[in-house]
């Protein structure tokens, strides 16, 4: 860090004392490198998709390819011989001595590579794969270094999207397994009462309008559960689930219908939702399924004892004709 500060101070003093001499010095180095090294042709005739910059050991930029213009946003005339390579690195990285350490290591190793951040002209930081190599003149004397950078922005975005897609697929697969398992475990014994309840077949096919109403109500309760979780507000979700279970029971539906109601509501709520929001819907929805199953079992017991609500009153509550 001390060496870096001294170098920066020396550069600043030199520029303040004689700006024209400083410009002449840099331009002289540019001419020298072009006349005595063979890297320029390679820099500007290939690897357009990479930012390639040559600098002297004071950090002055002396060569800058088309790929660098595309990635960083500076035109060559803005930067060659006028700017220090430090402007292309994050300020905190420079202040922590990161660039100086790389240059110090480079002298002993000839090349150094890592993944880090670079900075565009507009101030945007972006991920990059970065390679430093020393440059030598035709006599083998070290005269500076080249920095080659590959913009990893799209690559990182693709990796993130792929990871999210894999995670979402895994959650969906897990959910489907849980639903199949829940459906199997929730099939009740065919007692006299439950046998009568299941005579009508799937609710979604027998009474689709009622099924859709139940899916809508289940979805509303899922929204309330998310709101309660996110904003620490109170909703009487348990009472809502109890009422829902009674409607399901009076509709002559059973556990398999509960699973189908949940599955349909979850599909509706997670369509187009973010991965994180879909995960929360799935978690809250699974807990709600278990509660509805418990309330539905209580309904069966009450129904079998003949002490539940009147059938006419229940049908009226869910919008069915009491005389049907």
Tens digit of each residue's pLDDT (9 = 90 or more) over 249-268: 888 888 888 888 988 999 89
Q: Kindly state the tokens that stand for 290.
A: 């278990």
For the chain, how many helices (H) and strands (E)? 15, 5
Residue 137 pLDDT grade (very low, low, confident, very high; cuts 50, 70, 90): confident
Domain identity same for 57 and 172 = no
Quote the tokens at residue 87.
């402007």
**Domain co-membership, 146 together with 176:** no
Q: What pTM value is reported for the model?
A: 0.47
DSSP annotation of 124: -
Answer yes or no: is 322 within a domain.
Answer: no
For residues 136 and 125, the model is more confident at 125
Instruction: Answer with the residue of higher pLDDT: 19 or 152.
Output: 152
Quick one: the chain helix, strand, coil %, rounded to 5? 65, 15, 20
Flag whether 156 is in a domain.
no
Q: Is residue 233 domain-shared with residue 305, that is, in the same domain? A: yes
Q: Tokens representing 94? A: 């420079």
Identify the CA nearest to 208 among candidates 256, 257, 246. 257
Q: How far is CA 191 from the centre of its chain?
A: 50
Cross-strand partners of 269: none
CATH code of the domain covering residue 75: 3.30.450.20
Residues 6+ apart with CB under 8 A from 55: 61, 62, 84, 85, 144, 145, 146, 147
Count of domains observed in the chain: 2
Does the pLDDT at position 17 exceed 60? Answer: no
- For residue 143, the SS3 value is strand
* DSSP one-letter code for 60: B
Task: Decide if 158 is inside a domain.
Answer: no
Average pLDDT, the chain: 78
Rg of the chain taking only CA atoms, in angstroms = 35
Could you report the per-residue pLDDT of 176-214, keeping only the tens digit for each? 666 566 555 445 445 444 444 444 578 888 899 999 999
Residue 18 lies in a domain: yes
What are the strands of the beta sheet with 61-64, ordered from one edge? Answer: 61-64, 51-55, 142-151, 125-136, 111-119
User: Which structural domain, as residue segments, surrounds residue 8?
Assistant: 2-151
Q: Are 31 and 74 contained in the same domain?
A: yes
One domain, residues 129 and 253: no
The conformational region for residue 202 under phi > 0 = left, psi -120 to 50 = alpha, else beta, is beta
Considering the domain architecture, whether residues 12 and 100 belong to the same structural domain is answered as: yes
Least confident of 40-49, 61-70, 238-247: 40-49
Within 13 A of 45's CA, how many CA atoms are on the CB side?
5
Q: Contact 66/48 with Cβ under 8 angstroms? A: yes
Nearest to 285 by CA among 223, 243, 231, 202: 223
3-state class (DSSP) for residue 48: coil
Which of 119, 151, 183 lies at the terminal end of a domain, its last residue?
Answer: 151
What pLDDT, on the 0 to 100 scale, is given for residue 249? 87
Domain end call among 151, 175, 207 = 151
Mark whether 32 and 81 lie in a shared domain. Answer: yes
pLDDT in tens, 229-246: 888 888 899 999 999 999
pLDDT band at 121 (very low <50, low <70, confident <90, very high): very high
Handedness of CA 14, 19, 21, 22 (dihedral sign): positive
Kindly state the helix (H) or strand (E) to which residue 129 belongs, with its residue range: strand 125-136
- Please give the Cα distance from 246 to 195 (Å, whole number): 17
Q: Verify that 22 and 133 share a domain, yes or no.
A: yes
Residue 195 is predicted with a pLDDT of: 43
| Within-domain flag for 324 | no
160 neighbors 275 (Cβ within 8 angstroms)? no
Same-domain check for residues 313 and 249: yes
Q: Is the pLDDT of residue 128 over 70?
A: yes
In a domain, 323, yes or no: no
Segments of the chain assigned E as strands: 51-55, 61-64, 111-119, 125-136, 142-151
Q: Is the pLDDT of residue 2 over 60?
A: no
Report if residue 157 sits inside a domain.
Answer: no
19 and 142 in a single domain? The answer is yes
What confidence category does residue 88 fall into, taking pLDDT thresholds of 50, 70 and 90?
A: very high
Is residue 161, in this structure, part of any structural domain at all? no
Convert the pLDDT of each residue in 67-78 to its tens digit. Answer: 899 999 999 899
- 109 and 221 share a domain? no
Among 3-17, 95-109, 296-310, which is the least confidently predicted range? 3-17
Same domain for 142 and 171, yes or no, is no
Residue at which a domain ends, from 120, 151, 182: 151
274 or 186, which is more confident: 274
Q: Is the pLDDT of residue 272 over 90?
A: no
């Amino acid at each position: 860090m001390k060496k870096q500060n001294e170098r920066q101070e020396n550069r600043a003093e030199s520029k303040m004392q004689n700006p024209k001499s400083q410009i002449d010095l840099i331009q002289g180095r540019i001419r020298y490198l072009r006349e005595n090294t063979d890297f320029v042709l390679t820099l500007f005739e290939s690897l357009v998709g990479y930012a390639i910059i040559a600098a002297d050991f004071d950090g002055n930029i002396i060569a800058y390819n088309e790929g660098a213009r595309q990635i960083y946003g500076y035109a060559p005339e803005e930067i060659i011989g006028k700017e220090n390579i430090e402007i292309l690195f994050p300020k905190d990285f420079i202040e922590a001595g990161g660039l100086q350490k790389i240059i110090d290591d480079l002298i002993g190793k000839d090349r150094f590579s890592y993944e880090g951040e670079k900075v565009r002209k507009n101030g945007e930081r972006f991920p990059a794969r970065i390679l430093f190599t020393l440059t030598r003149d035709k006599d083998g004397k070290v005269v500076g270094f080249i920095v080659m950078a590959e913009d990893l922005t799209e690559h990182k975005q693709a990796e993130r999207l792929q990871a999210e897609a894999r995670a979402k697929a895994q959650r969906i697969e897990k959910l489907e397994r849980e639903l199949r398992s829940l459906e199997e475990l929730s099939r009740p014994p065919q007692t006299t009462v439950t046998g009568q309840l299941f005579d009508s077949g799937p609710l979604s096919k027998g009474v689709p309008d009622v099924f859709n109403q139940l899916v809508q109500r289940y979805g509303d309760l899922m929204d309330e559960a998310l709101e309660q979780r996110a904003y620490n507000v109170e909703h009487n979700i348990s009472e809502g689930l109890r009422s829902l279970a009674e409607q399901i029971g009076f509709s002559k539906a059973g556990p398999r219908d509960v699973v189908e109601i949940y599955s349909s509501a979850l599909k509706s709520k997670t369509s187009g939702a973010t991965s994180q929001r879909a995960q929360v819907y799935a978690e809250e929805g699974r807990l709600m399924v278990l509660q509805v199953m418990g309330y539905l079992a209580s309904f069966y017991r009450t129904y079998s004892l003949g002490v539940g609500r009147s059938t006419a009153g229940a049908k009226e509550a869910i919008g069915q004709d009491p005389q049907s």
